[in-house]
Amino acid sequence: MNSAARTPRRLVGVMFDLDGTLADSFTDIAAALNLTRADFGLAPLPYEKVRETVGSGSTYLVKTLVPVPESEFKRAYESYQDHYEAHLLDHTRLYPGVPEVLRHFAGRPLAVVTNKNQRFAEAVLKGLGIRDHFQLVLGGDALARRKPDPLPVRTVLERFNLPAAESALVGDGLHDMEAAHGAGVIAVAVTTGVESRETLQAASPAYLMASLSELPGLFD
């Protein structure tokens, strides 16, 4: 829906996805994935192939893009974890306007809800200098289920006693939209990440943005 037609409204809490929403981390993820492939004698994959597979967590990423026998998966997964830990801040940067957006919404509960493993999410947020803006960070391995399941979103709502109808989840992927709808929060899509504008539009977000910097214009 066209955000320009909307009247700004008050939000009592905001949740953000990480990869593709707050930060462009795809280059470092692709590099770690291709280093893992090299460990198993596999040729590197194009950046876009890796980028389009990001969003469901590292287990899915490695299983999908490092085709090794099941008996070798644990070693492949550990290899990816090691490579990513060593390179997770080489090229990862905040999208334009992120610090300003976080300052705009300061004073209310802010959380990160990501499918990235907890320790990596924490490391990226700290390395980019924005960890202190968030009262809660939920990584993909923090709970029994991850996005698109609504459990992480509901956990944030319960932790801060937030009304779903006055809280938002901002993300770049279909998992974000599904989790938001499932938890009854306002779904806000941004086209800086893995999905096209058309794909996100079809997921029926309440708002669709080209940049996170548009968010303060939508909400008080």
Q: Which residue among 17, 19, 172, 176 is the active-site one? A: 17
Write down the pLDDT at residue 95.
Answer: 97
Q: Is 17 a catalytic residue?
A: yes
- Both structure tokens of 68: 């090794």
pLDDT for 1 equals 47
Q: Is the CB of residue 37 less than 8 Å from the CB of residue 77?
A: no
Distance CA(11)–CA(2), nearest Å, equals 19
Q: How far apart are CA 206 and CA 3, in angstroms?
A: 8
Residues 6 or more apart whose Cβ sits within 8 Å of residue 203: 174, 177, 178, 187, 189
pLDDT, position 91: 97
Low-confidence ranges of the chain (pLDDT < 50): 1-5
pLDDT computed for residue 70 by the predictor: 94
The predicted pLDDT at position 8 comes to 65
Would you state the pLDDT for residue 158?
98
- Give which of 217, 218, 205 is closest to 17, Cα–Cα: 205
